[in-house]
Structure 1
Amino acid sequence: MHTDASAPALSVRGVSKSFGRTQVLNRVDLTLARGERLAIIGPNGAGKSTLFDVVTGRTRPDGGRVLLHERDVTAHAPHLISRLGLSRSFQTSQLFGQMSVIDHLRCAALWPSGHRYTFWRRMRGLREVTQRSEAWLARLGLAHRRDVPAGALSYAEQRVLEIGLCAASSGSVMLLDEPTAGMSQSESARMVDLIAELSRGRALLMIEHDMHVVFSLADRIAVLARGAIIACDTPQRIRTHPDVRMAYLGEYADRHSVRGERDA
């Protein structure tokens, strides 16, 4: 399918979602350009994870559309959206505890290597898949953990692997849900560097509560409050936006200058 190179990588148009009488998303509009890093911030319960679920096909919206490279994927199943170039990490670990690190990466490399999910074939016999996986091991700094079960990794290593799986699947659009949650300051700093590297040339949509991480990575920041986007702008303008300061940033905006920590 031919797409205009100037067209958005991802478009969310008028998306609404309610659970019972609770409206979680209220006509959300959001556009992610190709190669752009866009962070979504907002208080707990604002609807951020629900928005990710709608975009990835896990939840059907009550109204509105989701377009991936101009293709309407609103009614698509998650695995079909993934095959069209969207990959996602979750807020909590989704790894297989007894599966080795290398086998996780082999699974992620199957589709980009041109292989379908044929369960009667051994992945270890697919040379190109193994070569891709070994390269990703080195890139993620996990080569020394190659044959270790994912459940035996440290928390930070598990997060690195999960984000590596997103990148190894060769998706052109990456969605990361709180990638640095629960990490120490040094672990978060390393994760910022890794995300900056792995997202180069891809579109990145990220939910993150750590403002240092947000301002280090984002080209633009969208603020979601009570299910609606109340602002979407550059980090410098978001810092001083009165509605954003009132709804979310608060003391962080007061403690930091407009210059910011970004431009990774």
Structure 2
Amino acid sequence: MRPAAIPTDSSGPALSVRGVRQSFGPTRVLCGVDLTLMRGERLAIIGPNGAGKSTLFDVITGRTRPDGGRVLMNARDVTGRAPHVISRLGLSRSFQTSQLFGHMSVIDHLRCAGLWPGGHRYTFWRRMRGLDDVTQRSEQWLTRLGLSARRDVPAGALSYAEQRVLEIGLCAASAGSVMLLDEPTAGMSQSESARMVALIADLSRGRSLLMIEHDMQVVFSLADRIAVLARGAIIACDTPARIRAHPDVRTAYLGEYADDIDEAPAGEVRDA
């Protein structure tokens, strides 16, 4: 049976973070973060190392329950809900480091991602390979991701760039309306990053994208808006052109990424 559709407010934002606070012991990591992701928008979060970006993702996805504040998805309060519950409401996430099963094949990863959106619940006595509809959609994803030649290869045998492609493909194959990508191009060469930007532009079309990224070339190519997180708070959230010239952003990035902001392109992929 296909899961019932989740009622949503079609006029509201896809994701809202309201006054989120998070501390670990005496260390305050998030200090009342407010952030709104509109439907169909690509919003990038940038900020110095240790600003709280990944912690914010953990709160949004239910891995960490915040000390205060709320997270709403399609106007529905999901604060502190279990990650699998939030995922089934339409949110998918990739991580900074690989979260793949090293001995599982590429096609079986995609089969797993397609179970819930295909209307199938987990049953230990049923083999995924017997689900023809899931396999057919997984084959289509292989083609779209450029991984058809790696169909039966264990994920652990893929190159680093291929693993990142597969992980982001899993986000898209899970049919979430909101995608969270945590540093999708980290560790990639310039050519690999360019291919990843094109893939993200394709896979995020028609979805809402929230992305953490340090590569300013990637950020300014993809983002409709950029939010700057520093010392646990959003200090600016605006269009790429305005963020580039924002004095508080330049201060926050001084000595680390300020030159990258100057050198980033105006954006060739943003309207893809």
TM-score, normalized by length of structure 2?
0.94
Moved over 6 A (4+): none
In 2, Cα distance between equivalents of 1:210 and 1:241:
18
| Count, aligned residues | 263
Render the CA deviation track for 1:149-188: whole Å, top value 9, x for unaligned: 0000000000000000000000000000000000000000
Q: CA deviation at 1:75?
A: 2.4
State the distance in 2 between where 1:241 and 1:148 align.
Answer: 47
From 241, 245, 261, the equivalent of 1:236 is 241
**1:133 aligned onto 2:135:** no
Is the Cα contact below 8 Å between 1:96 and 1:151 reproduced in 2?
yes
Measured against aligned partners, the alpha-carbon deviations of 1:70-121 in whole angstroms (never above 9, x if no partner) come to 1000021000000000000000000000000000000000001000011210
Q: CA deviation at 1:255?
A: 3.8
The equivalent position to 2:184 in structure 1, one of 179, 184, 187, is 179
Structure 1 gap segments, 5+ residues each: none
**Residue matched to 1:123:** 128
Quickly say closer, same or farther: Cα 1:146–1:256, change in 2 above 3 A: closer
Shift of 1:246: 1.1
Q: 2:225 aligns with which of 210, 215, 220?
A: 220
Aligned partner of 2:38 in structure 1 is 33
Q: What residue is the counterpart of 1:170 in the other structure?
A: 175
CA distance in 2, matches of 1:142, 1:254: 35
What amino acid sits opposite 1:145 in the alignment?
A: R
Asked if 1:8 is matched to 2:13, the reply is: yes
- Mapped pair 1:110 → 2:118: no
- 2:83 maps to 78
Q: Which amino acid aligns with 2:202?
A: E
Equivalents in 2 of 1:255, 1:204: separation in Å? 24
Could you tell me how far apart the structure 2 residues matched to 1:178 and 1:252 are?
A: 16
Q: Deviations over 1:30-75 (max 9, x none)?
A: 0000100000000000000000000000000000000010100002
Q: For residues 212-245 of structure 1, give each alpha carbon's deviation from its aligned partner in whole angstroms, at most 9, with x where no partner exists.
A: 0000000000000000000000000000000001
- Other structure's SS at 2:125 match: coil
Normalised by the length of structure 1, the TM-score is 0.97
Corresponding residue of 2:193: 188
CA distance in 2, matches of 1:234, 1:98: 43
Amino acid at match of 2:259: E
- CA-CA distance at 1:256 after TM superposition: 5.2
What percent identity do the matched residue pairs reach?
A: 83
Alignment RMSD:
1.1
Q: CA deviation at 1:192?
A: 0.1
Task: Tell me how far apart the structure 2 counterparts of residues 181 and 233 of structure 1 sit (CA, whole Å).
Answer: 24
Alpha-carbon distance change, 133 to 227 in structure 1, aligned in 2, over 3 angstroms:
same
Matched-pair contact (CA < 8 Å) for 1:236–1:260: no
SS at structure 2 position matched to 1:14: strand
- Alpha-carbon distance in 2 for matches of 1:96, 1:255: 38
Using the alignment, how far apart are the partners of 1:52 and 1:162 within structure 2? 16
Indicate conservation of the 8 Å contact 1:212/1:261, yes or no. Answer: no
For 1:98, the equivalent position in structure 2 comes to 103
The question of whether the paired residues in 1 share the 8 Å contact of 2:216 and 2:264 is answered with: no
Runs of at least 5 residues in structure 2 that lack an aligned partner in the other structure: 1-5
CA contact 2:23–2:29 (8 Å) conserved in 1: yes
What is the CA-CA distance between 1:6 and the residue it aligns to? 1.8
- The alpha carbon displacement at 1:260 in A equals 4.8
Equivalent-residue separation in structure 1 for 2:28 and 2:192 (angstroms): 36
Q: Alignment partner for residue 252 of structure 1, among 249, 260, 272? A: 260
